[in-house]
A = this chain, B = another copy of it.
Amino acid sequence: MELRHLRYFVAVARHLSFTAAAESLGVAQPPLSQQIRDLEAEIGTALFERTTRRVALTRAGIDFLAQALAILEKSGEAMARARAIGAGAAGIVNVGLTGSMLAGPLGRAIRDFAVAYPDVDLRIHEMSPDRQIAMLKAGQTDISFLRSPPPDADLVSVRAWRETVTLVLPKSHRLAPTAVIELADLSQERFVFLRLSDSLFAKHLWACCVEAGFVPDITHEVVEAASLTSLVAAGLGIAIIPEFVARLAHADVVYRPVAGKTISADVHALWVGERAGPLIGNFLALVRSEA
């Protein structure tokens, strides 16, 4: 049995006429009769009761009609779904990221993507950077967003958006009134950092401090980027955070740009080259257009 048999059968069952059905199918009547005959022979029972003048469904035919319609509909859906997935308009995208990403273009991109591709299931997985890389390689996520990712032969990496950093000071800090602050001015400060063992971005900041001529005095290490601002507000030190995170303004702190050589907080997208479906490309393109 082939789908053609079902298409022909449904046409005859709809019109209850071989002639009319053949016309609607765009074929001649004899091949239609022949195909129905073949179908009945394969099933082993008559689907139509035909006199030369009237065509009627048998009981078996009535049941088979319902099944045939369901099968044909399912076939069409299967093709449409595969086509949509292939075109990147349907499917699942698992996105790895750290919480501090969502304040920037990524947050907007996630929202807009859901609107643009309603048949795509976008799933967010908030994790530490090294776990993100492990999940990517294990195939459990499709794309990850990291600041300062390490080079890796298995992974493709492009910059998703440019971002710089912002200094966070307690309102009462001696430098709070100062407009222009350079990194070197902070050599005697006490710092609140993301945990160096977790955060690649924190290591990058540390390296920038060293390049500026001092080793930062890190008094507290936290995991969540949002915690940094709170600790600064509590007067436990100062912090350097990605500029978009500073948009979640806190009343008890002030934000100041870091003058001098720009400190990068750029975010890079990473994925496994071979498993890059069109969905990933579509999503990444949207993220970059938001920047």
Contact = CB atoms under 8 A, between A and B. Distances in A.
A63 B120 CA distance: 13
A209 interface: no
B77 A74 contact: no
A82 interface: yes
A25 interface: no
Contact of A74 (B4, B63, B67, B87): B67
Given A3-B1, A79-B42, A59 B74 contact: no
Contact of A86 (B58, B68, B74): B58
A46 interface: yes
Nearest to A47: B82
Contacts of A91: 59, 63
B46 A86 contact: yes
A153 interface: no
Contact of A44 (B63, B70, B77, B86): B86
Interface string A69-91: 01100110111011101110001
Interface string A242-277: 000000000000000000000000000000000001
Question: Copies per complex?
Answer: 2
Interface residues of A, number: 34
Most buried by B among A47, A64, A277: A64
Contacts of A78: 64, 67-68, 71
Contacts of A279: 59
A79 to B, nearest CB: 5
A60 interface: yes
A138 interface: no
A44 B81 CA distance: 11
Contacts of A43: 79, 82-83, 86
B2 A45 contact: no
Contacts of A60: 81-83, 85-86
Interface in A31-52: 42-47
A61 interface: yes
Nearest to A81: B63
A64 B81 contact: yes
Given A1-B75, A64-B82, 6 more contacts: A47-B82, A63-B82, A63-B91, A68-B78, A71-B71, A71-B78
Interface of A: 1-4, 42-47, 58-61, 63-64, 67-68, 70-71, 74-75, 77-79, 81-83, 85-87, 91, 277, 279
21 contacts: A1-B3, A1-B79, A2-B2, A2-B4, A42-B79, A43-B79, A43-B86, A44-B86, A44-B87, A45-B83, A45-B86, A45-B87, A46-B86, A58-B86, A59-B91, A59-B277, A60-B82, A60-B85, A63-B81, A64-B82, A71-B74
